[in-house]
Protein backbone atom coordinates (compact mmCIF):
# COMPACT_ATOMS: atom_id res chain seq x y z
CA UNK A 1 0.00 0.00 0.00
CA UNK A 2 2.83 2.36 0.91
CA UNK A 3 4.56 1.54 -2.38
CA UNK A 4 1.41 2.46 -4.33
CA UNK A 5 1.08 5.71 -2.38
CA UNK A 6 4.70 6.69 -3.07
CA UNK A 7 4.23 5.72 -6.74
CA UNK A 8 1.14 7.95 -6.98
CA UNK A 9 3.04 10.82 -5.34
CA UNK A 10 5.93 10.33 -7.80
CA UNK A 11 3.51 10.46 -10.76
CA UNK A 12 1.90 13.61 -9.30
CA UNK A 13 5.32 15.27 -8.88
CA UNK A 14 6.13 14.60 -12.56
CA UNK A 15 2.70 15.92 -13.54
CA UNK A 16 3.36 19.15 -11.63
CA UNK A 17 6.86 19.33 -13.12
CA UNK A 18 5.42 19.44 -16.68
CA UNK A 19 2.90 22.13 -15.65
CA UNK A 20 5.67 24.25 -14.09
CA UNK A 21 7.79 23.92 -17.26
CA UNK A 22 4.81 25.19 -19.30
CA UNK A 23 4.50 28.19 -16.97
CA UNK A 24 8.24 28.85 -17.03
CA UNK A 25 8.37 28.80 -20.82
CA UNK A 26 6.21 31.92 -20.87
CA UNK A 27 9.19 33.79 -19.44
CA UNK A 28 12.45 32.09 -20.49
CA UNK A 29 13.83 29.96 -23.32
CA UNK A 30 13.88 26.13 -23.07
CA UNK A 31 17.71 26.17 -23.13
CA UNK A 32 18.11 28.32 -20.01
CA UNK A 33 15.04 26.71 -18.44
CA UNK A 34 16.59 23.26 -18.76
CA UNK A 35 19.78 24.54 -17.11
CA UNK A 36 17.83 26.08 -14.21
CA UNK A 37 15.72 22.93 -13.70
CA UNK A 38 18.78 20.67 -13.38
CA UNK A 39 20.35 22.71 -10.52
CA UNK A 40 17.88 21.95 -7.65
CA UNK A 41 17.68 18.29 -8.69
CA UNK A 42 21.47 18.10 -8.66
CA UNK A 43 21.71 19.51 -5.12
CA UNK A 44 18.70 17.58 -3.76
CA UNK A 45 19.58 14.10 -5.09
CA UNK A 46 23.34 14.40 -4.45
CA UNK A 47 22.61 15.48 -0.85
CA UNK A 48 20.39 12.40 -0.36
CA UNK A 49 23.04 10.17 -1.99
CA UNK A 50 25.75 11.53 0.33
CA UNK A 51 23.55 10.99 3.41
CA UNK A 52 22.24 7.50 2.56
CA UNK A 53 24.94 6.00 0.29
CA UNK A 54 28.25 7.57 1.35
CA UNK A 55 30.01 4.19 1.52
CA UNK A 56 28.91 3.35 -2.03
CA UNK A 57 30.18 6.74 -3.29
CA UNK A 58 33.65 6.27 -1.79
CA UNK A 59 34.00 2.81 -3.33
CA UNK A 60 32.89 3.69 -6.90
CA UNK A 61 34.98 2.29 -9.77
CA UNK A 62 36.40 4.81 -12.27
CA UNK A 63 34.51 3.19 -15.16
CA UNK A 64 31.22 3.93 -13.37
CA UNK A 65 31.70 7.63 -14.13
CA UNK A 66 31.70 6.91 -17.87
CA UNK A 67 28.26 5.34 -17.47
CA UNK A 68 27.04 8.21 -15.24
CA UNK A 69 28.21 10.62 -17.96
CA UNK A 70 26.28 8.66 -20.59
CA UNK A 71 23.12 8.60 -18.45
CA UNK A 72 23.48 12.35 -17.81
CA UNK A 73 23.77 13.02 -21.53
CA UNK A 74 20.66 11.04 -22.46
CA UNK A 75 18.46 11.96 -19.51
CA UNK A 76 19.23 15.63 -18.86
CA UNK A 77 21.14 17.16 -21.80
CA UNK A 78 18.90 15.54 -24.45
CA UNK A 79 15.75 14.24 -22.72
CA UNK A 80 14.96 17.19 -20.50
CA UNK A 81 15.83 19.78 -23.15
CA UNK A 82 13.71 18.09 -25.85
CA UNK A 83 10.95 17.71 -23.25
CA UNK A 84 10.93 21.51 -22.72
CA UNK A 85 11.03 22.17 -26.49
CA UNK A 86 8.10 19.81 -27.08
CA UNK A 87 6.02 21.46 -24.34
CA UNK A 88 6.80 24.89 -25.82
CA UNK A 89 5.78 23.91 -29.36
CA UNK A 90 3.03 21.29 -28.97
CA UNK A 91 1.67 22.22 -25.53
CA UNK A 92 1.89 20.22 -22.30
CA UNK A 93 -1.34 18.25 -22.87
CA UNK A 94 -0.22 16.85 -26.24
CA UNK A 95 3.53 16.53 -25.53
CA UNK A 96 3.30 14.69 -22.18
CA UNK A 97 1.74 11.44 -23.47
CA UNK A 98 4.28 11.36 -26.29
CA UNK A 99 7.39 11.63 -24.14
CA UNK A 100 5.93 9.23 -21.59
CA UNK A 101 6.39 6.46 -24.19
CA UNK A 102 10.03 6.12 -23.01
CA UNK A 103 9.53 2.52 -21.69
CA UNK A 104 8.69 1.45 -25.26
CA UNK A 105 12.00 2.84 -26.56
CA UNK A 106 13.88 1.42 -23.56
CA UNK A 107 12.48 -2.01 -24.48
CA UNK A 108 13.38 -1.60 -28.18
CA UNK A 109 16.95 -0.57 -27.20
CA UNK A 110 17.17 -3.53 -24.79
CA UNK A 111 16.15 -5.86 -27.64
CA UNK A 112 18.78 -4.35 -29.97
CA UNK A 113 21.70 -3.98 -27.52
CA UNK A 114 20.99 -6.38 -24.65
CA UNK A 115 19.48 -9.22 -26.68
CA UNK A 116 16.10 -9.24 -24.89
CA UNK A 117 13.34 -11.10 -26.70
CA UNK A 118 10.22 -9.76 -28.46
CA UNK A 119 7.05 -10.93 -26.71
CA UNK A 120 3.39 -10.80 -27.80
CA UNK A 121 2.75 -8.41 -24.88
CA UNK A 122 5.40 -6.02 -26.23
CA UNK A 123 3.72 -6.07 -29.66
CA UNK A 124 0.30 -5.44 -28.09
CA UNK A 125 1.69 -2.58 -25.99
CA UNK A 126 3.44 -1.07 -29.02
CA UNK A 127 0.27 -1.19 -31.15
CA UNK A 128 -1.73 0.44 -28.33
CA UNK A 129 0.87 3.20 -27.86
CA UNK A 130 1.19 3.93 -31.59
CA UNK A 131 -2.63 4.08 -31.90
CA UNK A 132 -2.75 6.52 -29.00
CA UNK A 133 -0.05 8.70 -30.56
CA UNK A 134 -1.88 8.62 -33.91
CA UNK A 135 -5.07 9.74 -32.15
CA UNK A 136 -3.33 12.67 -30.43
CA UNK A 137 -1.36 13.86 -33.47
CA UNK A 138 -4.17 13.35 -36.01
CA UNK A 139 -6.07 16.22 -34.42
CA UNK A 140 -3.71 18.67 -36.10
CA UNK A 141 -3.77 17.02 -39.53
CA UNK A 142 -7.51 17.26 -40.06
CA UNK B 1 14.02 31.53 -34.32
CA UNK B 2 11.06 33.77 -35.27
CA UNK B 3 12.02 33.48 -38.96
CA UNK B 4 11.99 29.69 -38.72
CA UNK B 5 8.61 29.81 -36.99
CA UNK B 6 7.08 32.05 -39.67
CA UNK B 7 8.56 29.79 -42.34
CA UNK B 8 7.12 26.55 -41.00
CA UNK B 9 3.88 28.02 -39.66
CA UNK B 10 1.87 27.00 -36.61
CA UNK B 11 1.12 23.47 -37.83
CA UNK B 12 4.80 22.82 -38.61
CA UNK B 13 5.65 24.21 -35.20
CA UNK B 14 3.36 21.68 -33.52
CA UNK B 15 4.84 18.83 -35.58
CA UNK B 16 8.32 19.94 -34.48
CA UNK B 17 6.97 19.70 -30.93
CA UNK B 18 5.78 16.14 -31.57
CA UNK B 19 9.19 15.25 -33.05
CA UNK B 20 10.92 16.75 -29.99
CA UNK B 21 8.61 14.77 -27.67
CA UNK B 22 9.44 11.49 -29.46
CA UNK B 23 13.14 12.50 -29.37
CA UNK B 24 12.80 13.03 -25.60
CA UNK B 25 11.14 9.61 -25.26
CA UNK B 26 14.03 7.96 -27.16
CA UNK B 27 16.58 9.81 -24.96
CA UNK B 28 14.71 8.84 -21.75
CA UNK B 29 14.46 5.27 -23.04
CA UNK B 30 18.23 5.20 -23.67
CA UNK B 31 18.85 6.66 -20.21
CA UNK B 32 16.66 3.92 -18.66
CA UNK B 33 18.70 1.26 -20.48
CA UNK B 34 21.97 2.86 -19.31
CA UNK B 35 20.51 3.34 -15.81
CA UNK B 36 19.62 -0.35 -15.62
CA UNK B 37 23.25 -1.22 -16.38
CA UNK B 38 24.52 1.36 -13.85
CA UNK B 39 22.32 0.10 -11.00
CA UNK B 40 23.04 -3.57 -11.70
CA UNK B 41 26.82 -3.16 -12.08
CA UNK B 42 28.13 -0.04 -10.34
CA UNK B 43 25.97 1.93 -7.89
CA UNK B 44 22.61 2.21 -6.07
CA UNK B 45 19.90 4.23 -7.93
CA UNK B 46 20.29 7.37 -5.79
CA UNK B 47 24.07 7.54 -6.41
CA UNK B 48 23.61 6.85 -10.14
CA UNK B 49 20.94 9.54 -10.49
CA UNK B 50 22.96 12.05 -8.43
CA UNK B 51 26.09 11.73 -10.54
CA UNK B 52 24.05 11.65 -13.79
CA UNK B 53 22.52 14.97 -12.71
CA UNK B 54 25.98 16.42 -12.06
CA UNK B 55 27.12 15.35 -15.54
CA UNK B 56 23.82 16.56 -17.01
CA UNK B 57 24.36 19.97 -15.41
CA UNK B 58 27.86 20.16 -16.95
CA UNK B 59 26.60 19.21 -20.44
CA UNK B 60 23.72 21.69 -20.32
CA UNK B 61 26.04 24.47 -19.04
CA UNK B 62 28.39 23.87 -21.99
CA UNK B 63 25.67 23.39 -24.61
CA UNK B 64 23.71 26.53 -23.74
CA UNK B 65 26.51 28.78 -22.46
CA UNK B 66 25.55 31.49 -24.99
CA UNK B 67 21.94 31.80 -23.79
CA UNK B 68 22.36 31.40 -20.03
CA UNK B 69 24.32 34.59 -19.05
CA UNK B 70 22.09 36.78 -21.23
CA UNK B 71 18.85 35.25 -19.90
CA UNK B 72 20.12 35.55 -16.31
CA UNK B 73 20.39 39.31 -16.86
CA UNK B 74 17.30 39.99 -18.95
CA UNK B 75 14.59 37.35 -18.37
CA UNK B 76 11.79 37.50 -15.82
CA UNK B 77 12.59 35.95 -12.43
CA UNK B 78 9.23 34.21 -12.54
CA UNK B 79 10.58 31.97 -15.33
CA UNK B 80 13.51 30.91 -13.14
CA UNK B 81 11.16 30.26 -10.24
CA UNK B 82 8.85 28.00 -12.30
CA UNK B 83 11.75 26.06 -13.82
CA UNK B 84 13.48 25.76 -10.42
CA UNK B 85 10.28 24.38 -8.87
CA UNK B 86 9.92 22.04 -11.85
CA UNK B 87 13.41 20.69 -11.13
CA UNK B 88 12.49 20.14 -7.46
CA UNK B 89 9.23 18.39 -8.46
CA UNK B 90 11.06 16.18 -10.92
CA UNK B 91 13.81 15.24 -8.42
CA UNK B 92 11.16 14.57 -5.74
CA UNK B 93 9.42 12.27 -8.23
CA UNK B 94 12.62 10.27 -8.74
CA UNK B 95 13.21 10.02 -4.97
CA UNK B 96 9.60 8.96 -4.31
CA UNK B 97 9.93 6.34 -7.04
CA UNK B 98 12.87 4.80 -5.15
CA UNK B 99 10.82 4.81 -1.94
CA UNK B 100 7.94 3.20 -3.85
CA UNK B 101 10.22 0.50 -5.25
CA UNK B 102 11.66 -0.21 -1.82
CA UNK B 103 8.12 -0.77 -0.45
CA UNK B 104 6.47 -2.66 -3.33
CA UNK B 105 7.51 -4.79 -6.31
CA UNK B 106 8.11 -3.24 -9.75
CA UNK B 107 5.02 -4.98 -11.14
CA UNK B 108 2.85 -2.98 -8.70
CA UNK B 109 4.72 0.35 -8.89
CA UNK B 110 5.23 0.65 -12.67
CA UNK B 111 1.52 0.84 -13.68
CA UNK B 112 0.88 3.35 -10.88
CA UNK B 113 3.75 5.56 -12.06
CA UNK B 114 2.67 5.18 -15.71
CA UNK B 115 -0.53 7.15 -15.08
CA UNK B 116 1.53 10.35 -14.78
CA UNK B 117 0.28 11.75 -18.16
CA UNK B 118 -3.32 11.38 -16.96
CA UNK B 119 -2.44 13.34 -13.80
CA UNK B 120 -0.82 15.98 -16.03
CA UNK B 121 -4.00 16.23 -18.13
CA UNK B 122 -6.08 16.66 -14.97
CA UNK B 123 -3.70 19.38 -13.74
CA UNK B 124 -3.83 21.12 -17.14
CA UNK B 125 -7.64 21.06 -16.95
CA UNK B 126 -7.69 22.72 -13.52
CA UNK B 127 -4.59 24.94 -13.61
CA UNK B 128 -3.89 25.81 -17.26
CA UNK B 129 -7.39 25.93 -18.76
CA UNK B 130 -6.73 29.48 -19.98
CA UNK B 131 -3.54 28.41 -21.80
CA UNK B 132 -4.45 24.99 -23.18
CA UNK B 133 -7.58 23.25 -24.35
CA UNK B 134 -7.95 19.51 -23.78
CA UNK B 135 -10.02 17.66 -26.37
CA UNK B 136 -11.69 14.28 -26.15
CA UNK B 137 -9.21 12.99 -28.74
CA UNK B 138 -6.23 14.01 -26.53
CA UNK B 139 -7.79 12.27 -23.52
CA UNK B 140 -8.49 9.07 -25.49
CA UNK B 141 -5.00 9.09 -27.03
CA UNK B 142 -3.39 9.62 -23.62
CA UNK B 143 -5.40 6.74 -22.08
CA UNK B 144 -4.24 4.46 -24.93
CA UNK B 145 -0.58 5.51 -24.48
CA UNK B 146 -0.81 4.89 -20.71
CA UNK B 147 -2.45 1.50 -21.33
CA UNK B 148 0.30 0.53 -23.80
CA UNK B 149 3.05 1.60 -21.36
CA UNK B 150 1.35 -0.38 -18.55
CA UNK B 151 1.17 -3.51 -20.78
CA UNK B 152 4.89 -3.23 -21.63
CA UNK B 153 6.18 -2.43 -18.12
CA UNK B 154 4.02 -5.03 -16.33
CA UNK B 155 4.84 -7.79 -18.86
CA UNK B 156 8.56 -6.97 -18.48
CA UNK B 157 8.31 -6.96 -14.67
CA UNK B 158 6.51 -10.33 -14.68
CA UNK B 159 8.91 -12.03 -17.12
Calculate how close chain B gets to A18, using CA atoms only, in Å: 7
Give the per-residue pLDDT at B7: 57
Is 70 exceeded by the pLDDT of residue B65?
Answer: yes
More confident residue, B44 or B107: B44
Q: How far is A37 from chain B (nearest CA, A)?
A: 4
Question: Is residue B120 a contact partner of residue B92, using CB atoms and an 8 Å limit?
Answer: no
Q: Kindly tell me if the per-residue pLDDT of B6 is higher than 80.
A: no
User: Band of the pLDDT at B26, cuts 50, 70, 90?
Assistant: very high
Q: Any CB–CB contact under 8 A between B8 and chain A?
A: no
Q: Give the burial class of B131: count Cβ atoms within 10 A of its Cβ; 0-12 exposed, 13-18 middle, 19 or more buried.
A: middle
Give residue-wise pLDDT tens across range B69-124: 999 999 889 999 999 999 999 988 888 887 888 888 877 888 888 899 999 999 99
Separation between Cα atoms, residue A112 and residue A109, nearest integer Å = 5
ipTM of this model?
0.89
A29 contacts chain B (CB < 8 A): yes
Can you tell me whether residue B40 is helix, strand or coil? helix
- Over its C-alpha atoms, chain A yields an Rg (Å, rounded) of 18
Average pLDDT over residues B42-64: 93
For residue B3, name the pLDDT band (cuts at 50, 70, 90).
Answer: low
Low-confidence ranges of chain A (pLDDT < 70): 140-142
Structure confidence at residue B34 (pLDDT): 87
Domain that holds residue B72: 44-103
pLDDT tens-digit profile of A94-121? 999 998 898 888 888 888 887 888 889 9
The pLDDT, as a whole number, for residue A39 is 95
Query: Alpha helix (H) ranges present in B42-115?
Result: 45-63, 68-74, 77-103, 106-114
- Overall number of domains in chain B: 3
Rounded CA-CA distance A54/B144 in Å is 42
Residue-range domain boundaries for chain A: 2-100
Spell out the SS3 assignment of chain A. CHHHHHHHHHHHHHHHHHHHHHHHCCCCCHHHHHHHHHHHHHHHHHHHHHHHCHHHHHCCCHHHHHHHHHHHHHHHHHHHHHHHHHHHHHCHHHHHHHHCCHHHHHHHHHHHHHCCCCCHHHHHHHHHHHHHHHHHHHHHHC
| 29-58 of B, contacting A, C-beta below 8 A | 29-38, 41-44, 46-58
Taking CA–CA distances from A129, the nearest residue in chain B reads B145
Kindly determine whether residue A89 and residue B13, on different chains, have CB atoms separated by under 8 Å: yes
Q: CB–CB of A88/A30 below 8 Å?
A: yes
Q: Between A38 and B130, where is the model more confident? A: A38
Would the pLDDT of B4 be above 90? no
What is the structure's pLDDT at A142? 45
pLDDT value at B12 more than 80: no
**Angle CA A113–A116–A118, to nearest 5:** 120
**What residues in A contact B92, CB-CB < 8 Å?**
10, 13, 44
Chain A positions in Cβ-Cβ contact with residue B105 (cut-off 8 Å): 3
Whole-number pLDDT of residue A139: 77
Looking at the structure, tell me whether residues B33 and B58 fall in a common domain. Answer: no
Check: CB of residue A79 under 8 Å from CB of residue B20: no
Distances (CA, A) of B84 to A10, A89, B7, B79: 17, 21, 33, 8
Amino acid sequence: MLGVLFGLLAATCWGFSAILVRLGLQHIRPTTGTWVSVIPGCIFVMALAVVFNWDDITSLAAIAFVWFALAGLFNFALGRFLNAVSIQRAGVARATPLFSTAPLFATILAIIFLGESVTPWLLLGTVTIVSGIALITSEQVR
Amino acid sequence: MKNIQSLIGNRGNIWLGYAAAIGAAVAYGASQTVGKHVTSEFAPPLVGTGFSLVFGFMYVSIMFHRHIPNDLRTSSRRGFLWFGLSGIASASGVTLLYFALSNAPLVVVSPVVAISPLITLTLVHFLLHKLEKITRRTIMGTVMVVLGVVIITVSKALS
